[in-house]
Amino acid sequence: MGAIEKIQCNNCEKSWELLTGMGKRHASLANISELYPADVAEQLTKYEEMPGVRFQFAMTPAKCETCKAFVSVPVVFVKTDEKKYTGVCPECGKSVQTFACVERCKCPECNEKKLFINKIGRWD
Ligand SMILES: [Zn+2]
Ligand SMILES: [Zn+2]
């Protein structure tokens, strides 16, 4: 089950709502591959055909410098060959930086480090 998380800036009051974690449909690499650009999707589809392939998936918060926004991107770690595939910004299609701790990030709107994150719900 995934979480709905709200990132809010204490300085400029801007906020972003993100879907994080994984849903039921993400148990399949075929479904996950639909979240990626064509070249990565093709690679993921190849894994789908490998017997006993093991992977870990999560929608992960990321900061898009182009859109000046927080977005949620797919990250899949394929354990079988130790490779990690991070998705692109759903708005502009550029690559983004995921982060472990939002409190250490600067607000894309006002550039202050006054962000906090709250779980506000669940999805799937
Ligand atoms: Zn701000
Ligand atoms: Zn973007």
Beta strands (DSSP E) in 79-114 are 83-86, 97-98
CA angle 86, 3, 97 (to 5 degrees): 25
Q: How far is the CA of 64 from the centre of ligand 1 (A)?
A: 14
Residue 63 Cα, ligand 2 centroid: separation in angstroms? Answer: 8
Are 36 and 44 within 8 A, CB to CB?
yes
| Ligand that lies nearest to the alpha carbon of residue 12, given by its number in the listed order | 1
pLDDT at 100: 84
Quick check: 41 pLDDT over 90?
yes
Each domain of the chain, given as residue ranges in start order, spans: 2-123
Nearest to 116 by CA among 108, 105, 2: 105
Indicate the pLDDT class of residue 101, thresholds 50, 70 and 90: confident
Ligand nearest, relative to CA of residue 11: 1
Residue 60: the pLDDT is: 96
Q: For residue 44, give both structure tokens.
A: 């993921």
Q: What is the pLDDT of residues 51-69, one digit of tens each?
A: 899 999 999 999 999 999 9
- Counting ligands in written order, the one closest to the CA of 68 is 2
Q: Single out the residue of 74, 81, 37 nearest to residue 55, CA to CA.
A: 81
